[in-house]
Amino acid sequence: MSAPAWADTSAVVVDLGFGDAGKGVTVDLLCARRRYGAVVRANGGAQAAHNVVAPDGRHHTFSQFGAGTLAPDGPVPTHLSRLMVVDPLALAAEGAHLASLSVPDPFGLVTVDERALIATPWHQEANRIRERARGGGRHGSCGMGVGEAMAYALARPGDAPTAGDCRTPAVLRRKLHRLADHLDALRRELGDGSRTSPDVEDCVAAYGGFARRVRIVDESYLPGLLARAPVVFEGAQGVLLDEWHGFHPHTTWSTTTTANPLALLAEAGRPGDARRIGVVRAYTTRHGAGPFPTEDPSLAGLLPEPHNGTHPWQGAFRVGHLDLAAHRYALAATGGVDSLVVTHADSAAAAGGRLRRCTGYTDRAGRPLVPVPGDAPAPSHPLHPAPGPLDARADAHLRRQAALADALAAARPVLADGPTPPEEIADALGTPLEAVFSGPTRDDARITAPA
């Protein structure tokens, strides 16, 4: 079988919900149909969990490796851009699993921008201490320390460890000692009784192995790559969890819209040179706390969810009716997409007449409630270019998003009966349909548009 032809442009895959829509299978499908130079991560970190089942039965939960790693004509390399928070310890475990699936030399597939922040066990522990301190008011964090890494870097940009630091143990060691001090201070501040801490030398050694094994590259790498070949930007989480457009405080500290990939393309001198692909499920899900107007726990038993369960930090996996109103909000927040992929079309059918769709919301008084994204501050990244601390404008914006979260928590969905065929979902969202998944693998995809 000959390899597929090169893709015409790069692709940006974005989830128009709360995550878990099927970005992994979408990326896998793209990489099976056309050739790409790499799958690029431009937001989030190791908390991503993109399940891909290959037609031969191999299953992997992609977390930091790009979901093109199981592509039929050979693995597509992964690039972790400067806008991603990299977790080298988690990457090791993931690489080992891929090796067990007969992917040759997984770490040889990965390049990492030296400027990318790394999330460490200290960030992870700080993250968990904060969530514990919130008691019943948890934010729904995954407990991986990604947001903590961002927050720490915003507060102390000079002390935040980066992927590049893994090459220079002396620098890394100094930064890790400071992180350990910071964790101790946080424990005192929050009155947390836990005492044990990660061992700096163990981690320095492990990060050294990471730096020797994966290629750590400078700022010229991605522009060079983009000049040679189109890539797939694999988004993490969903637009409804976006740091600025999500429903505060139940958001992730990450820009989950297409803004980051578009910024990287612009930096490389190729502004807008990509096809934006939105992904939705035929029904709506949410993992963890936060408003979810169409939630219907009775659906959970009807819609099997092999890869998402109750998460020890994030909490329960929640299921609800297709929320077209929320997806319209997400589309507006991300500035639109060029095509749509609908997943879990078979599950929707399996739920039979029980599944409905939400076309809008009403408030407590029964008046229509139409959420509209605000004029968000620019995507934040602590190390480049320095945005400064959250200013008054950002603060006001977050208050607005918190009010929106309150309104949505009290909102009632306007529901119409019956499952919604993928074509109708595309119509309702005003976006051409690209593919429909009625099963877990790329072979279960019905292609509705040319690649």
Partner 1 sequence: MGSSHWSTDAYHARKAYNASAGRSDFGYTDDVLSSVPRTKWKVHEKLDPKGVAFRESRDSDEHPESLAISVLFDVTGSMGRVPRVLQTKLPALFGLLLRKGYVEHPQILFGGIGDATCDRAPLQIGQFESGNELEEDLNNILLEGGGGGQVTESYELAMYFMARHTAMDCLDKRGRKGYLFLIGDEKAYGKVKAREVREVIGDDLAEDIPFPQILAELRRRFEVYFIMPSGSSHFTNDAVRSFWDEQLGQNVIHLEDLGAVSETIAVTIGLSEEAIDLEEGLADLADAGSDAGGVVGRALAPLAGPRGSVVRSTGLPGGDASAPGTDRL
- Known binding residue 258? Answer is no
**Would residue 311 show up in a list of annotated catalytic residues for this protein?**
no
- Known binding residue 344? Answer is yes
Instruction: Confirm or reject binding of residue 96 to partner 1 (CB under 8 A).
Output: yes
Query: What ranges in 335-380 are assigned the alpha helix state H?
Result: 345-350
β-strands 357-362, 368-369 pairing: antiparallel
In sequence order, which residues have a C-beta less than 8 Å from that of residue 441 and are 6 or more positions away? 25, 53, 54, 55
Applying CB under 8 A, among 19, 22, 95, 419 the residue interacting with partner 1 is 95
Amino acid at the residue 107:
F
Site for partner 1 in 71-90 (CB under 8 A): 88-90
- Known binding residue 191? Answer is no
* Catalytic one of 15, 20, 28, 323: 20
**Would residue 20 show up in a list of annotated catalytic residues for this protein?**
yes
Task: Evaluate whether 23 touches 435 at the Cβ level (below 8 Å).
Answer: no
Shortest CB 447 distance to partner 1, Å: 36
Q: What's the DSSP call for residue 311?
A: B
The smaller minimum CB distance to partner 1, of residues 301 and 312, is found at: 312
The CA distance from 172 to 168, in Å, is 6
Region label for 135, one of left (φ > 0), alpha (ψ between -120 and 50) or beta (otherwise)? left
β-strands 50-53, 317-320 pairing: unpaired
Instruction: Confirm or reject binding of residue 171 to partner 1 (CB under 8 A).
Output: yes
Applying CB under 8 A, among 74, 198, 360, 421 the residue interacting with partner 1 is 198
The smaller minimum CB distance to partner 1, of residues 209 and 374, is found at: 209
Instruction: Confirm or reject binding of residue 421 to partner 1 (CB under 8 A).
Output: no
Applying CB under 8 A, among 4, 55, 74, 209 the residue interacting with partner 1 is 209
Task: Report phi then psi at 320, rounded to 5.
Answer: -155, 180
Residue 285: name the closest of 255, 315, 262, 260 by CA.
Answer: 315
Instruction: Confirm or reject binding of residue 174 to partner 1 (CB under 8 A).
Output: yes
Using CA of residue 77, residue 82, residue 88, residue 91, what is the dihedral sign? negative
The smaller minimum CB distance to partner 1, of residues 73 and 202, is found at: 202
Binding site for partner 1 (CB under 8 A): 88-93, 95-96, 99, 105-108, 121, 125, 128, 167-171, 173-174, 177, 194, 196-199, 202-203, 205-206, 208-210, 212-213
Binding residues: 20, 156, 237, 252, 344-346, 437-439
Residues classed as catalytic: 20, 50
